[in-house]
Structure 1
Amino acid sequence: MRNLVAVGILGGLALAGSKQTSSCKCLPGDSCWPSASQWQKLNTSANGNLLAVRPAGSVCYQTFNGQPNPQYNADACATAKNGWTVSNWIVEQQIETISHFWTNYTCDPTMGCNKPCDLSSVPQMVIMAKSASDIQAGVKFARDNNLRLVIRNTGHCYLGRSAGYGALAINTHSLQSMDFTSSYKGPGSWSGGAVKLGAGVDVVGGECPSVGIAGGYIQGGGHSPLSGLYGMGSDNALSFEIVLATGELVTANAYSNSDLFWALKGGGMGTYGVVTSVTVKTHPRVFVTGMSLNISILGVTDPAAIDRYWSAVNVFHNYAPKLAASGMYVWYGLVPFVGLIVQPFVAPNMTVAQFEAVVAPLRAQLNALNVTYATGTPTQFDSFYDLYMSMFSFIDDVGGDTLLGGRLFKTSDIEQHGANITAAYRGLINAGVIIGGHIVNPGRAVPDPDSEISSVHPVWRDTPDNMLWLYDTGATCLTPAGRQAAFGTNTQLGNPMRAASPDSAVYVNEGDVNEPNWQDAFWGSNYPALYKIKTKYDPNGVFWAQSTPGSERWTLKDERRLCKAT
């Protein structure tokens, strides 16, 4: 451990000792950067779980941080190359994220850009936390030494909030305890089943297997294929254990720290503290019917046929409110030159006959357009898990060099501006952008937009569709100026979507991290209260995550130095 820490310290000192005022977080090379002895003390406090960061692909490089790399290993490199695009592998690493854009392809095992392998875009040190006390030690150290602090659970983050140059990272993925009860006795009115989950436990209730339920998923709201029955993931939270900026471990629930409890249920991730566990409701198993649908345009060049295809897309999307109102969840994708892929329709508590009754009008409208489409055989499964393993198994969610944007469409948006939404979709596809969507309405289960049950944007209570787009930046080898240009392009791509739904919102976990007026777009009328809670529990900004409550008090300069806003 001593040598690993020394490597991290020396790597930082090699950047030279510039002076830095307390208005900015300390970076390697600054005179305020902790000494080797201070890091050693932290390692002792963190029970030996502090490591100098080694990017997963560094085993492919003969030099690291400008020095000979003793960990260079051809066999390990082959493993890293294979895992670079596999989320399950990335989840197990120190600081990697499923969107390599945010680590600037640091130590890329494919060596696509011929860049040196170093720590110039990633955290310097990481605590691989095994207990809440490890986290407490890290938070106190970051606070006392004015360091940027990054919270990383599974790395399932497309918006860069679990990455950061020069930071001390806390990796919570090893906190994987689970404690089930059939009859919850804690605060609140819920008396059904519950499970207490450590921060590193993964959830399959969402769409992607690398989602960590106690991390950004539930703290950002968390939609699910079962949201039509049970609401958002955050609606189901009963209690949190969280390390605050003071280093104190507290419980937040309906009776204790109730304001913080509300904020943690959808009000932003990585900004109030480090969640070590969450207790959530459990629900009885339900049977589920599923089906796929595809409209292909592979090889289609006839303009009239392409217009008919887009008419079919319009019909499908305009039917979203009816699908969501039935309790269904529908994942769809629009891929340039490929077509519309719906995989799958998920219909909880519906028999095949009941499912067919809901989709029959959609079939009739598609048939009237004289477009060719293919559907799978509607199939009833005993549980959502069985359906997931059968129909979601194709998913791997590594984002590569993509940037995300997104939009929540209210029922009125689709009913009044459906044609404009379809036109905006067509523009994105013509620009080479991939579109994904989640037709589901959590408001069917929790209908009151003013409900105090969670702090998600009120628009979520009437949202039949949460769409997102994936803009391929080609950023593997982009210069800093090129990266900034990519951010601007991504934001511009969303303008037609914003115009088609001017009073709507964006899902904080699946939107543009540079979303204009993000406070309103992500949280709406809940934002002032969230900002107040942030300043109450973290007045000095120990925690910071981009475009979360209170983050506007800081400025990230050139994606590197975090300074107080002036």
Structure 2
Amino acid sequence: MRLFYGTGLLGYLGLVQCVTVNFDYESIQLTEETVAALPALSFGNTSDEPLTPRRPRCKVHPGDKTWPSTAEWKGFNASLGGVLLKPTPPGAACYPDHDDYDPERCDFLMGDARRSRFWIDNPLGAVVQWAQGNTCPVEVDPAGECTQGGYPAYVVNATSVRHIQMAVNFSRNKNIRLTVTNTGHEFSGKSTGYGSLSIWIHHLKGIELLDDYTIGEYTGGAAKISAGSEGWEALRVQNGSSPGITIIAPGQGSVGLAGGWLQGGGHSTIAGYYGLAADQVLSLNVVTADGRFVTADVHENRDLFFALRGGGGGTYGIVTSAIVRTYPAHTYVSGLSYSFTTGPSEVNARVYDLFPVAPSFKIESRETFWEAYAEYFAFTKESTAVKGFAFGDVTPVGNDSYTFASMFAFPQASPSEAEALLEPLFERFAALGVNITAPDAVSVPYARVVDPPGPVPGQDLFASRLLPRSLWDDEPRLGDTTRAIRQAVEEGGLQVRSRGYSPTLAIAGYPTTDVSSGINPALRETAMHLVIAVTGEGVVTAHSSPEEWLASHATLEKYTGNLRDLTPDGGAYVNEADVSEPDWQQSFWGSRYPELLKVKRERDPWDLFWGRRMVGSEGWEVETPDEVPSQNGPLCRTGYSY
């Protein structure tokens, strides 16, 4: 174990704090000697932060008189060692009037880029284009001009803690909006921001297994996970281990492990068996808003340890690495996939390519379709009771037709055990005349090891709802809920995706049972997580007007609101939520919010880390010419008075 010393919170008390360095890039740190020569990179001190009325109303942005000059940016780049980027939007290749116009590259963006790692390996690979402002969409024959819009103005391609510290300090001292980008799996716009300086941590790579790790009351296997490591990379290490182990990883292999996925909770197909990703964390290395590099665990910086495990990503600091629990055996899941439809075509019901799927069963009656869906919905209580994972998407496909694709996965069960568990459900289907010939259950690793292409920019618009286990004990309310889902699909034209899992506190294990985490208490009571998504005719495009966007969102809000009304004891999952979630403090964090807000205010009095609907975001808003909540505008204080 290599120990380095920083000043962190204990440093302000005149004590020396020990920082455990997990990877070589963490040993490269900003020193006081460097700061003395470059005042713009000086560390912050939370105790010296002035009162709010003395601060500028808005973060500085291009065109402001206080925006750093070209010479200052060049000087900053030199101090970084040349890793400062000023990238133009990728779509610029499609615009004849743009300096980066390149027809061949545009063809690539329209085609092969979607099947490659281009977007995940691009510092401006924003997933949600409307949140960026749709200022440079990739199109064959684009209309208008390509502008930077909500894309960051500059990007620090961080390959060391020093780079991160310098970017944090420069942004804070210059009052520049700061954003953080990793793998691009961010659906609310937090990784974009007009006039921002982005810290790109995608290239901080490394995973190391620890056979015998001890901290607090824990002794056992663990893994060091770098900030830029993706799910598939962790699984590759897992499967190459001997003896076999399990690392909790996201279902989408290109999601980053130590970023927003973990910090927002982090669910997976085995969340009901081992708990959430945040439950696995034993230690975190973090660059905080004052530019210091600290370790947060059960012994030191416990406030950060609490907040970063479930309190939301991009809010309290930048995690550079994590140490997480591992389990002493490969985890297998047994199960099967099936589907049924009222439409003319079959449905591919595979999820994460885990199980083979039989041809979709055709149902002639729409009433029977929804009765069968209700049976699936009710059965979730039984599957989660044995720590299983249920998947089910119901989708309108036009002409009053609907499809349902489903999967059940049972960790560490045999195929015969999975079939026995599912037999009652298929008997209920058969009683309705839905005689599905389900494929034989099979046993597979819980997540496939593939190098996925990553997210592709789009116009996603969705909301989420966590349904509590108590719902299944209230038959009338359960029936009302399935009817509300039917209304959302039939009347609203929305797709409703369900993920049945139950990450209770009882299975979370140490340190969650010893040191509280920022995880939404509603997640502990959850039996099903719904994602309600705009689809079909309601989908917004790069050229949708603000009125069209707002109309589409109003439909989403109407039908999600019905589900909120039916589940007041539920909540919403912050990583997959409505960007305009009402009463979001309660929905995302419930009773945890006051304590999380206290950590935020103490650790980041500058509001350096900001994301819409994130802890402590109430005092700021992005000023745009319309009501669409994009990031294409200055970030300014609300209720500001001179």
TM-score, normalised on structure 1?
0.89
2:282 is matched with which residue? 238
- Is structure 2 residue 485 aligned with structure 1 residue 421? no
Residue number in structure 2 paired with 1:446 = 508
Structure 2 contact 94–141 (Cα < 8 Å) conserved: no
Among candidates 374, 391, 394, match of residue 334 of structure 1: 394
**What's the CA shift string for 1:3-30, capped at 9, x where partnerless?**
xxxxxxxxxxxxxxxxxx8111111111
- Could you report, residue by residue, the CA deviation over 1:484-542 in whole angstroms, capped at 9, with x for unpaired residues? 44444432231111122122100000111211100000000000000000001001101
- Which of 515, 520, 526 is the matching residue for 1:463? 526
Q: Partners in 2 of 1:395 and 1:440 — Cα distance?
A: 27
Structure-2 residue corresponding to 1:312: 372
Count the aligned residue pairs: 534
- Number of the residue aligned with 2:50: none
The aligned amino acid for 1:122 is Y
Matched, 1:191 2:257: no
**What residue number does 2:634 align with?**
561
Describe the SS at the equivalent of 1:476. Answer: coil
Determine if contact 1:87/1:98 at 8 Å carries over to the other structure: no
Q: Which residue of 1 aligns with 2:462?
A: 404
- 1:105 aligns with 134
Query: Given residue 466 of structure 2, which amino acid in structure 1 is its aligned partner?
Result: L
The amino acid of 1:434's aligned partner reads: Q
Structure 2: which 5+ residue stretches go unaligned? 1-54, 233-248, 346-361, 625-629
Give, in whole Å, the separation in 1 of the partners of 2:81 and 2:561.
49
**2:333 partner letter:** V
1:159 corresponds in structure 2 to 188
For 2:289 and 2:525, how far apart are their aligned partners in 1? Answer: 35
Q: Secondary structure at the match of 1:193?
A: strand
Asked whether the equivalents of residues 262 and 453 of structure 1 are also in contact (C-alpha less than 8 Å), the reply is yes
- Compute the TM-score of the two structures, normalised by the length of structure 2: 0.79
Worse-matched range after superposition: 475-484 or 248-257: 475-484
Instruction: Pick one of 325, 336, 361 that aligns with 2:424.
Output: 361
For residue 384 of structure 1, what is the aligned residue in structure 2? 446
1:146 positional shift? 0.8
Report whether the alignment pairs 1:90 with 2:151: no
| Local SS of the residue matching 2:131 | helix
* Deviation per residue, 1:116-160 (Å, 9 max, x gap): 111023211111111111111111111011111111111101111
Identify which of 540, 546, 571 aligns with 1:474. Answer: 540
Residues 1:229 and 2:291 are matched in the alignment: no
Shift of 1:75: 2.5
Instruction: Find the residue that maps to 2:119 and give its secondary structure.
Output: helix
Partner of 1:511: 577
Q: Within the alignment, does 1:433 sit opposite 2:494 as a pair? A: yes
Give the structure 2 partner of residue 143 of structure 1. 172
CA contact under 8 A between 1:289 and 1:348: conserved in structure 2? yes
- Identity percentage over the alignment? 31
Match of 2:385 in 1: 325
Report the secondary structure of 2:336's partner residue.
strand
Which residue in 2 is equivalent to 1:294? 339
Which residue does the alignment assign to 2:13?
A: none
Whole-Å separation in 1 of the counterparts to 2:457 and 2:565: 27
Equivalent residue for 1:202? 230
**Alpha-carbon spacing, 1:91–1:217, altered in 2? closer, same or farther (3 Å):** same
CA contact (8 A) 1:414 1:421 kept: no
AA aligned to 2:443 is: Q
In structure 2, how many angstroms separate the alpha carbons of the residues matched to 1:394 and 1:41? 38
Spell out, residue by residue over 1:392-428, the C-alpha distance to the aligned partner (whole angstroms, 9 max, x if none): x999754621211010001112332221121111122
2:481 maps to amino acid: I
Instruction: Describe the shift of the 1:158–1:525 C-alpha distance in structure 2 as closer, same or farther (beyond 3 A).
Output: same
**Do residues 250 (structure 1) and 284 (structure 2) align?**
no
Counterpart CA distance in 1 for 2:324 and 2:402 is: 40
Instruction: Label 1:352 to 1:365 Cα distance change in 2 as closer, same or farther (>3 A).
Output: same
Query: 1 CA distance for matches of 2:547 and 2:61?
Result: 21
Provide the residue aligned with 1:63 in structure 2.
97
Change (3 A) 1:306 1:482: closer
Query: CA 1:44/1:83 → structure 2, altered by over 3 Å: closer, same or farther?
Result: farther
What amino acid is aligned across from residue 47 of structure 1 in structure 2? G
> Could you say if the C-alpha distance between residues 160 and 112 of structure 1 is closer, same or farther in structure 2, counting changes exceeding 3 Å?
farther
Aligned-residue offset at 1:63: 2.9
Q: 1:359 to 1:480 in 2, by over 3 A?
A: same
AA in 1 matched with 2:569: D
Q: Mark the CA change 1:516 to 1:27 in structure 2 (over 3 Å): closer, same or farther.
A: same
Q: Which residue of 1 aligns with 2:563?
A: 497
Q: Is 1:75 paired with 2:104?
A: yes
Query: Over aligned residue pairs, what C-alpha RMSD do you find?
Result: 2.4
The letter of the residue matching 2:204 is: L
Change in 2 beyond 3 A, CA 1:112/1:101: farther
Deviation at 1:80, TM superposition (A): 1.6
Between the aligned partners of 1:124 and 1:538, the Cα distance in structure 2 is 23
The answer to whether 1:261 aligns with 2:295 is: no
| Conservation of the 8 A alpha-carbon contact between 1:437 and 1:466 | yes
Q: Tell me the equivalent position of 1:47.
A: 81
What is the CA deviation profile of residues 234-262 of structure 1, one whole-angstrom value per residue up to 9, with x for unaligned ones?
A: 00011111111111111111111011111
